Chains A and B, each alone.
Chain A
Amino acid sequence: MQLEIRNVSKTYPNGVRALNDVSLTIPRGMYGLLGPNGAGKSTLMRTIATLQEPDSGSIQLGELDVLTQKDRVRETLGYLPQEFGVYPRETAERLLDHFATLEGITDKRQRRETVDALLQQTNLWNVRKEKLGTFSGGMRQRFGVAIALLGHPKLIIVDEPTAGLDPAERVRFLNLLSALGENSIIILSTHIVEDVSELCTRMAIINGGEILLEAEPLRAIEDVRGRVWRKLVPKESVVAVEQEMPVISTKMLAGRTYVNVYSETQPGDGFEPVDPDLKDVYFSAMGGHHRSATNGSTQPAVVQ
């Protein structure tokens, strides 16, 4: 089973074009949707999660049409929104039980078992009787995962789950996610490149409502190998370099600046080749230097 997104576009009433002819094919496994804030990630995620209507296009989950068979899709959907709250006076156990019923687990004993298992898995067992209003950000996020995992969903959508988590929490959270989502389609939207590089077997980079690149992270890294160069320059000359060359990112180091440049060939004096990572892929794509030849294709193509 896979998720097919075909030519989905969405323009908000205020004129913002959030999605522009987006097409993606998402197979089983962890799929990273990478993009800066405001790129259209959330719109796409919410559309897949049946919470929003696109202006045009189609979304197919296996046999199901996501846009018209919403109820059926929701039966196999787990959704963790970017921002969510919980009833502060409710306990974790009771609220999870509530959602379990909504997820169609009507048998009391089975529901009990499911809730208990999920609380244990998300390591909330010890606080199951605590009111949710007292939870920390990480605990709340894990609680959200527990809700999303109810009923063994085939499609799990997690929207910016690591934003606002401290590094330790983030690691724990991602471990949890990867461990749980082996048999499902998991779409993880994030603006943090590491989230994707550490977890995802496939990814897409989105900006301005358009898919810039769709690829397997490792293949994508290989594709930019030899095309990213760097040089340590004084702070004052960064602007000059940027005017001359396709700078994709800069990084401060001890008062001076590393500039990373995208180039098929050695761009010039003092530039050394970079051993690329996903960040370089991301910045290349964002800079408009590196994108898929056709949507859905795994072949990276080079523009310019």
Chain B
Amino acid sequence: MRFREIFRYELGYRLRAPSTWIYFGLMYLGPLVMVQFSSTENDRVVNAPVHYAASVSILGFFALVITAGIFSDAATRDADTRMQALFSTTPITKLDYLGGRFAASYLVNAVLFAGMPLMVALSMTFPWLSHFNWAPFRVMAFVQPYVLMTLPNLFIGAAVIFTIAALTKNSLATYLGGLGLGILYLIVINQGLGNDTLENLIDPFGIGPLQKVTSYWPPSEQTTRLIGFPGVVVLNRALWMGLAVALLVFLYSRFSFSHPGVGARRRSVQMPGEEGDERLSHAIASVPRARREFGARTRVAQLMKVARHALLDIVRNRVFLVMVLGTVVLASMVGWEVGAIVFDTATWPVTHLIAGSLHGFLISTVMIVVISLVAGELIWKERDVGAGDITAAAPVPDWIPLIGRFLALIAVLLTLQALYTVSGIALQAIQGYYRFELGLYVRMMFGLQLIDYIILAALAMAAHVVVNHKNLGHVVVIGTYLFTLVAGSFFRIRHNLLVFNGDPGWTYSDLNGFGPFMWPFLWFKSYWAAWAILLTVVATVFWVRSTEGGWRARVRLARLRLDGAASRAAVVAALLIVTTGGFVFYNTNVVNEYRSLEEGTARRVEYERRYKRYEHVPQPTVVANNLRVELYPARPAADISGGFQLVNATSRPIDSIHVTINPDVDVRALSFDRVNRLVLDDSTLHQRVYVLDRPLQPADTMRMTFEVVFQPRGFTNAGQPTDVVSNGTYFDRDWLPGFGYRPTRELPNDRERERYGLPPKAEPPSPKDTTLAARGALMDGGSSYVQTDVTIGTDEDQIAITPGLLVREWREGGRRYFRYVTDKPVLHSVPVLSARYEVRGDAWKGIPLRIYYHPTHTFNLDRMVSSMKASLDYYSAAFGPYPYRELRVVEFPRYASFARANPYTITFSEGSAFITRIEGDDVDRTFFVVAHETAHQWWGNLVRGARMKGGALVSETLAQYSAMMVMEKTYGPDMVRRFYGFEMERYLRGRGQFASREAPMSEVESQSHLYYHKGAVVMYTLREMIGEAQVNLALRRFLEAHDDSRPPYATSLDLLKELRAVTPDSLQYLMTDLFDTVTLWDVKTDSATAEQTESGDWRVTVTVTAKKVRADSVGKETEVPMSDLVDIGVFAAPKQGKGLDEAIYLQKHWVRSGQQTITVTVPGDPARVPARAGIDPRHKLIERETGAATLPIVRRAEAGRTP
């Protein structure tokens, strides 16, 4: 009864509160708006159950701020209004009171959070959204996430918030409790802990486990399969629901109506001064008449006093200690593993990576929330304690209490940044890295990052003042932050002048520092700082000086206050916004071209419409180039002049030359040594057509000379060009003129193409197509193998590098020049690098080996050299001699993260191999990637593969295989088996992530999880089955048969033909399974028993079930009969309790579909007693879900054994 009354009253109270209706609007209209803007890119299925469930959960995470507002109000309202004592005199029990409040708030929240499913479902009926790719409507697709994710998450969040609020009555503590839950989730999502079970358990919202479960689903299931109630997720939910209930029980046991709350534990000491005060009335005359003044000096003193007082109040709050500890813990979590983690290998904690991770998504998000919480606390504290009126009547101008608090907030931010910095330095020291770069910390933590936070702090202060509602203020701040996150991707608002606190971003590089990013960043920030000033002026005029609410009164007062100083400040801020914004706009949209996504798309469409018709017009091929590249790193600028030797490699005469100009460069000159006319000069699409008076006959040659200049001006909205920078120039041949139509510039997405009236995108030719036309293209833009002669001029203190042999180096006019010439034609790419390098030299069989590196990146030079040597040893023995006369590894800034193998020259981003940190028995990633890129000197540079499906099998898959072999030779088979495990996992996860079709390896296209990771898996498996010698024999034959210097170029089928030729008949099925189809196995061990024979041997019997399926392009599986060779193994118990089991028996057996029993006999040996047995113990088969591979052996009665 009483419970019902409390419940009913609370519900009514909540429904009468205007904030509830604002939340309602947000939670119902928000999703509705979001759906309208849903991306149709990549044929995304808007309501695919998996994506929908993830979105629901993530939105729920941000909406926690609403939950926090409602529940903390429900828990503390009576204490705030000092009404709680009244309840203690009524017969209401704690259970009625807490339960009623909690239940009513929960109901309100549950209805609010139903907004997303209801609105998404509703959107499916809107006719104007019918062009979306909708999965069919199913009620369960909406109900399941609501039941499995939304309702439990609400309960968990509510339990934490309600408990903290009811017990501490401290709003900062309450919100931080909610934030703590959020941090656990963010850590799992962003960071990972390297332990799946732990991650599954500690994510309070179950989002991590859900994503993990669904990530292995193939594309077809990603779009249609209901999430159901996966075991891991249910377990997570059960655990957290249990914790939540326990927390509520704890609250029930500790709660008391008369609980005084924090800070109000009255000491019942008798205070002196309560009695005997007769003296006082005589003392009046003694009050000294202090001098009072209200000039600038006083304003400063008042400001400082307010700031200090506000700061002390925050710092003395016991919650501040929690914040400090949380900061340190958080910094340790994100800073422990920085950089890319591949194969479980970490990266050296160089300062910019540590400092960068301390400004990453996780900490930024946490900091935004902290800023909003502290701002709210600062704004509300005075009124909460009731000192608002007294202070309001003090002779203090309106701006002082606001700015003073703002300063206190900045001081809190400074403290937290200092804590992050100290934690970062400690992390570096703990990990044995002592190059702290304090100056860099200062610039990143107290420069760039603090600027960001201060601008957000201004927003937070203004929001809390103007909104004048504790929790709605938080909603506004966090909502604004959320908007900035999705403005570009979702709402397609990409100009950084339009998204609060937007900037083009920056990348720090050890080579190049902040490079070209600093000034544009600061300009954008000046613009936003001007907005921050304006916001602060707005906050000043709306500053609440009396408790009288009502917008009418506030607006009237604001108008009154907007005189003199305030309006002058507003005008100054507005002028600053206009001037800085104007300057930025001038740079981004006038000096440089600003193109919206739509305009970019339109341009691609226009290109295709105008020039597709010329796709098959014969064009000349470059056979030799002669270039002079002048680099001006400091300016930055580059001037490239020179010529191409062109040949007509086709069988038809060429009468017109279609030249593609790169939009980033200006053409100073362009001419041919034949009479010609410029008939088309398309300056928007950068196309030119020259008609030759006398056509170029087949095999005939001509020359083209040109000069192009790269000279960026001003800055752009979306990052700065990093091709030429003061230290670490790196660009490729893109700036050189190209020939013919480029299919790569076409719009790739078929759904979008349809909207623009374009036919579906033509696929690359299949390797089954043996016509010369299909096999005649090697690379984009009419390039193949060319003889190059390149001279590069650069600053005097830099070294410039490009493929070829260095034939001359000299100084001239304060500059340094390098001339590189190739001794044979190489693939046409002209990567130009220039920086202040250190050089590490070595040699292998007379071939110079060099590493050009940044002076501080010395960690892995030895590993690189040893990898180069081991690779050259193995490859030259297995595949044929090293094709060039030098091998170089060159580092470039981390503006790009790839590694690339050019002839003679391997380029690595500074973020990868150079600072990878390998310890103990880690997989030596540096060794592997250098081996991989070295292998490309054969696979990719000697034989490239035609531009057809399956081309990547020739270059990337073979490079993976080769590098695995070198690693096996150097580090042994166990290391490669571990590597194989990683590759298998990445392939299977990649299957889930890529929605587009999965092709068999023979027709693999641009999917890296196939050509790298599945490639490694299938080649390793093949090697295991037919032997290394056979595989290498096939590869050598393939290499000998295909010299890719002229068409027709090699295809994947040529390679597979050689591999089939060395494969015994009995294993031909495997070639089909691995390369020609997408095949998956499913084998498991049902039982394993053993009995000892009279001779003392063991007879081990395993029962196994096997299945083989073929997946079609969307992952739909069909079972096929299986009769395959599969490993059967028997293992002794591991000696040290860890490490791989020792195999007593490991042999291939023919295994067919269905259940079967296999018996093997192993010799009796007391030191090696069979302990486990099973099928495919090394996981060589590709299995989606790995069942029990081996089982512990059950011993049968020991028959016939004499004691």
Flag whether B394 is at the interface (Cβ < 8 A). yes
A105 to B301, CA, bound (A): 9
* Residues of A close to B553: CB separation below 8 A: 13, 53
* Residues of B close to A83: CB separation below 8 A: 386
Task: Report A185 CB to chain B, min CB distance, Å.
Answer: 15
* Residues of B close to A118: CB separation below 8 A: 287
* Residues of A close to B385: CB separation below 8 A: 85-88
Flag whether A136 is at the interface (Cβ < 8 A). yes
Which residues in chain A, 62-104, are within 8 Å of chain B measured between CB atoms? 68, 71, 74-75, 77-81, 83-89, 98-104
Q: Does the CB pair B280–A121 fall under 8 Å? A: yes
A101 to B396, CA, bound (A): 10
Q: Does the CB pair A51–B546 fall under 8 Å? A: yes
Flag whether B290 is at the interface (Cβ < 8 A). yes
* Residues of B close to A105: CB separation below 8 A: 290-292
Contact of A50 among B286, B298, B393 (CB under 8 A): B393
Contact of B386 among A79, A85, A98 (CB under 8 A): A85
* Residues of B close to A124: CB separation below 8 A: 273
Flag whether B556 is at the interface (Cβ < 8 A). yes
Q: Does the CB pair B298–A106 fall under 8 Å? A: yes
Contact of B393 among A51, A85, A100 (CB under 8 A): A51
Q: Does the CB pair B288–A123 fall under 8 Å? A: no
**Can you list, as one digit per residue, whether each of A101-139 has a CB less than 8 Å from chain B (1) or not (0)?**
111111100110110011011111111001001111011
A150 to B148, CA, bound (A): 61
* Residues of B close to A176: CB separation below 8 A: 280-281
A94 to B550, CA, bound (A): 34
Q: Does the CB pair A102–B391 fall under 8 Å? A: yes
**Can you list, as one digit per residue, whether each of B255-289 has a CB less than 8 Å from chain A (1) or not (0)?**
00000000110110101111001011101101111
Flag whether A225 is at the interface (Cβ < 8 A). no
A118 to B1148, CA, bound (A): 97
* Residues of B close to A289: CB separation below 8 A: none
Flag whether B1200 is at the interface (Cβ < 8 A). no
* Residues of A close to B550: CB separation below 8 A: 12-13
Task: Report B288 CB to chain A, min CB distance, Å.
Answer: 5
Contact of B274 among A53, A120, A136, A151 (CB under 8 A): A136
Flag whether A144 is at the interface (Cβ < 8 A). yes
Q: Does the CB pair A84–B273 fall under 8 Å? A: no
The interface centre, meaning the residue of B263, B273, B297, B316 with most chain A CB atoms within 10 A of its CB, is B273
Flag whether A52 is at the interface (Cβ < 8 A). yes
Closest to A138 in B: B274
A292 to B266, CA, bound (A): 48
Q: Does the CB pair B395–A102 fall under 8 Å? A: yes
A87 to B519, CA, bound (A): 45
Q: Does the CB pair B395–A104 fall under 8 Å? A: yes
A74/B548 contact (C-beta < 8 A), A83-B386, A107-B290 known: no
Flag whether A218 is at the interface (Cβ < 8 A). no
* Residues of A close to B264: CB separation below 8 A: 88, 133
Task: Report A12 CB to chain B, min CB distance, Å.
Answer: 8
Which residues in chain B, 508-554, are within 8 Å of chain A measured between CB atoms? 545-548, 550, 552-553
Flag whether B313 is at the interface (Cβ < 8 A). yes
Q: Does the CB pair A102–B273 fall under 8 Å? A: no
Closest to A101 in B: B305
The interface centre, meaning the residue of B271, B279, B397 with most chain A CB atoms within 10 A of its CB, is B271
Flag whether B294 is at the interface (Cβ < 8 A). yes
Flag whether B387 is at the interface (Cβ < 8 A). yes
Contact of A104 among B288, B298, B547, B556 (CB under 8 A): B298
Q: Does the CB pair B271–A136 fall under 8 Å? A: yes
Flag whether A220 is at the interface (Cβ < 8 A). no
**Can you list, as one digit per residue, whether each of B293-317 has a CB less than 8 Å from chain A (1) or not (0)?**
1100110011001100100010010
Q: Does the CB pair B273–A123 fall under 8 Å? A: yes
* Residues of A close to B381: CB separation below 8 A: 87
A127 to B301, CA, bound (A): 26
* Residues of A close to B294: CB separation below 8 A: 75, 104
A79/B301 contact (C-beta < 8 A), A98-B309, A127-B272, A151-B292 known: no
Flag whether A49 is at the interface (Cβ < 8 A). yes
Q: Does the CB pair A102–B305 fall under 8 Å? A: yes
* Residues of B close to A101: CB separation below 8 A: 301-302, 305
Flag whether A152 is at the interface (Cβ < 8 A). yes
User: 20 A-B pairs, CB-CB below 8 angstroms?
Assistant: A13-B553, A50-B393, A51-B392, A51-B548, A52-B546, A86-B387, A87-B313, A87-B385, A88-B385, A102-B302, A102-B305, A102-B394, A104-B292, A104-B298, A107-B291, A110-B291, A123-B273, A123-B277, A133-B266, A151-B395
Q: Apart from A51-B392, A139-B273, list 10 A-B contacts with CB within 8 A.
A: A53-B556, A74-B394, A102-B391, A105-B291, A111-B290, A114-B288, A121-B283, A123-B280, A130-B271, A133-B264
Which residues of B approach A to under 8 Å, CB–CB? 263-264, 266-267, 269, 271-274, 277, 279-281, 283-284, 286-294, 297-298, 301-302, 305-306, 309, 313, 316, 381, 385-387, 389-397, 545-548, 550, 552-553, 556-557, 560
